[in-house]
Amino acid sequence: MFCAAAQPETHHANVTETAGDRLGHAIYHANELNDSRLRKKAENRWGGGKRAAQSSFIRQIKPWKGAKGPKTEKGKAVSALNAYKHGLRSAAGCKLHRTLRAQSWFLRWALAESAVELAALRGDQFVLETRLMKLHEILLKTRKSFEAAGIETAALDARLIARQGANLSDSDLITRADTPLSVQSIENIEKLSARRLAGEPVSRLSGGREFWGLHFKISPDTLDPRPDTETLVEAALKWARAQGQKPLRILDLGTGSGCILISLLKELPYATGVGIDISAGALSISRENAEVMGVADRAEFRQGSWWEGVAEGESYDLIVSNPPYIPAADIESLAVEVRNHDPIQALSGGMDGLDAYKIILNDLKKCLVCGGHALFEIGQGQEKALARLVDESNMYVCDSYRDLGGILRVVEISCGEK
């Protein structure tokens, strides 16, 4: 670590020279010095290829204007660093310190890919940090900050954020644990960590969520798929597979990211499906997911509010839905990850949480083929109220399924004989 010399006296000859000229003047002095060992050490710190933006920035500023010595951006930035370090030992140090301190923003850019990080700039102290944080160190730091904030999945979230921020694979997190990270990677991880600490879920940070073994893109227009909803997919597959090789038609009401319909189509190669959602933004995401998953030729997505997207006379073998079922009074008590980042229209089910079910059940019977079934996700404790609504619609709940937490999560409805 290198610390600055005392504050220089204010008088010097070239008070009107430009910022580029001042740094050029410093580089000129640096090239007049003869400590080749220190210069070689500084040159060896330079990392791999620089980003195009940095090269363009340096060429535009021309900080070497009027200077002797290196001709490349790399060489000139190293010379600038040399000028600073040599200046600490010489009578010219005051002027060099004054010059390079004024140009700290240039050094931050020019040396971003080297093993020298600009760690702090406080008053008259200009500090250059010579050691970057290693992967396992920033993982530990991130995990501890998440644990202190009460995040239950602190270790997992820390790994996911490090993987995203440093562009690493899962295996890299193990095999490169002792590898120093670049300045840019550290900054990325710290920014993502700050957003996570503010309550933003990791899936929103990455723009994607794993569901049913598939990676789905999500956006602010879509609900963040959760493991509980996999219970709905599992129950629907149980019924569908019992129908043999019949080419089923599936309807997904309130499709969002398309995760339910697409997961079913991936498992049922003989099936086709329609997904309906009121949000144009959500439909854009679901279409993109269908393309990526290779089922776009068997999936159609339409805009509408519940049955508005269904054409007159259409009927389906299987109808699935994960409608909004949170009572309006309970929205404020939801976790901040849900309350502040999932679309409210995908959460709130009205005063009793059953508004969407009432609308769906009104036309469900006429949109199911004879012998068809419907499966809905429900909220905790809603099974009795929903069974009553189903009975009033001249249908019946023929089965129910619990999630991994033991909560009754899915009901299966038939319009046939009991």
Walk along the chain (418 residues) and give the pLDDT tens digit of each residue: 223 332 233 333 333 334 344 444 444 444 433 333 333 333 333 333 433 444 444 444 444 444 445 555 555 555 555 554 444 444 444 444 444 444 443 444 344 333 333 333 333 333 333 347 899 999 999 999 999 999 999 999 999 999 999 999 989 999 999 888 988 898 899 999 999 999 999 999 999 999 999 999 999 999 999 999 999 999 999 999 999 989 999 999 999 999 999 999 999 999 999 999 999 999 999 999 999 999 999 999 999 999 999 999 999 999 999 999 999 999 999 999 999 999 999 999 999 999 999 999 999 999 999 999 999 999 999 999 999 999 999 999 999 999 999 999 999 999 866 5
**Both 57 and 111 in a single domain?**
yes
What whole-number distance in Å separates Cα of residue 261 and Cα of residue 233?
Answer: 8
Is residue 213 in some structural domain?
Answer: no
- Determine phi and psi for 139, rounding to 5 degrees: -65, -45
| Domain end call among 75, 104, 129 | 129
Pairing of the two strands 208-211 and 214-217: antiparallel
Is residue 207 in some structural domain?
Answer: no
DSSP annotation of 24: H
**Both 154 and 108 in a single domain?**
no
Q: Up-side HSE of residue 28: CA atoms within 13 Å toward CB?
A: 11
Residues, the chain: 418
Is residue 203 in some structural domain?
Answer: no
What whole-number distance in Å separates Cα of residue 283 and Cα of residue 258?
Answer: 8
**Both 181 and 298 in a single domain?**
no
DSSP annotation of 186: H
- 79 close to 111: Cβ distance less than 8 angstroms: no
pLDDT of residue 23: 44
Cα 304–chain centre separation: 29
What whole-number distance in Å separates Cα of residue 4 and Cα of residue 99?
Answer: 12
**Both 393 and 323 in a single domain?**
yes
The CATH number of residue 364's host domain is 3.40.50.150
Is residue 60 in some structural domain?
Answer: yes
**Both 268 and 389 in a single domain?**
yes
Angle at CA 365, nearest 5°, toward 363 and 367?
Answer: 70
Task: List b or e across 247-264, with b for residues whose CB sees 16 or more CB atoms inside 10 angstroms.
Answer: ebbbbbbbbbbbbbbbbb
Is residue 301 in some structural domain?
Answer: yes
pLDDT of residue 132: 72
pLDDT of residue 301: 98
pLDDT of residue 189: 94
pLDDT of residue 133: 85
pLDDT of residue 415: 83
**Both 80 and 162 in a single domain?**
no
Domain that holds residue 265: 219-414
| Domain end call among 79, 107, 129 | 129
Is residue 310 in some structural domain?
Answer: yes
Report the domain count for the chain.
3
Is residue 366 in some structural domain?
Answer: yes
**Both 331 and 238 in a single domain?**
yes
pLDDT of residue 235: 98
Neighbours of 143 (CB within 10 A): 20
What whole-number distance in Å separates Cα of residue 234 and Cα of residue 214?
Answer: 14
What whole-number distance in Å separates Cα of residue 298 and Cα of residue 288?
Answer: 13
Is residue 146 in some structural domain?
Answer: yes
pLDDT of residue 200: 95
**Both 386 and 358 in a single domain?**
yes
| Domain end call among 98, 129, 160 | 129
**Both 184 and 242 in a single domain?**
no
**Both 233 and 144 in a single domain?**
no
- Determine phi and psi for 207, rounding to 5 degrees: 75, 20
Tokens, residue 352: 């009793």
CA distances from 261 to 60, 229, 256, 309, 405 (A): 52, 12, 10, 15, 23
**Both 152 and 82 in a single domain?**
no
**Both 92 and 47 in a single domain?**
yes
